[in-house]
């Protein structure tokens, strides 16, 4: 499945460089919009080769140098099962993936999240990584996918201070039936 994203609409200009503040991820089975958290940069090129449509990192850093980073992507998931089941299945898949790689991580549901558009999601925390880090993930069920945002935190003990950033991003989430490319708009910074 090809995953693509465009950074669209509002732009922030710092010096001579423009940074997109709003964007979306879209493909054959998904379309969702979001806004970069305050003080964070959004980039739709860095993760492109890995099928990651958008990454986020604190202003003044890069994807490679950021101490904390976020990415978003969808995973195919049939909407015929309850949303909570679909999220739990995704969490279980993440745990199994890491166990196959010899990591014994644990997952805990921290809270429900509701976006400004009314979408309901769940915030989960993954701990137990051998490098001492942790991950936070917000999952939003959609008709054919579960769309998620993952924050990678280098020290598990500092996770709580970053929850508001991920929740701010999640609150901007808005699913759509289709994403219309912004061809010809000066606000577009990506390609379709």
pTM given for the model: 0.82
**How much is the mean pLDDT over the chain?**
83
Superfamily designation of domain 4-175: Mog1/PsbP, alpha/beta/alpha sandwich (3.40.1000.10)
Mean pLDDT of 42-46: 92
pLDDT of 42: 93
Place of tokens 């739990």: 88
pLDDT of 90: 96
Banded model confidence at residue 161, pLDDT cuts 50, 70, 90: very high
């Amino acid at each position: 499945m090809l995953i693509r994203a465009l950074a669209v609409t509002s732009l922030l200009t710092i010096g001579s460089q423009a940074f997109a503040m709003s964007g979306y991820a879209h493909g054959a089975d998904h379309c969702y919009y979001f806004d970069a958290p305050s003080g964070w940069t959004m980039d739709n090129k860095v993760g492109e080769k890995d099928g990651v449509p958008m990454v986020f990192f604190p202003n003044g850093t890069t994807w490679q140098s950021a101490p904390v980073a976020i990415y978003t992507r969808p995973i195919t998931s049939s909407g015929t099962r309850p949303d909570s089941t679909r999220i739990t299945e995704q969490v279980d898949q993440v745990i199994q993936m890491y166990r196959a790689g010899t990591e014994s991580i644990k997952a805990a549901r921290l809270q429900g999240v509701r976006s400004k558009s009314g979408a309901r999601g769940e915030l989960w925390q993954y701990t137990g990584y051998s490098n001492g880090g942790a991950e936070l993930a917000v999952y939003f069920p959609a008709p054919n996918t579960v769309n998620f945002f993952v924050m990678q935190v280098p020290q598990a003990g500092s996770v709580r201070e970053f929850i508001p950033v991920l929740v701010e991003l999640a609150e901007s989430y808005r699913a759509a039936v289709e994403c219309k490319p912004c061809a010809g708009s000066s606000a577009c910074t990506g390609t379709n």
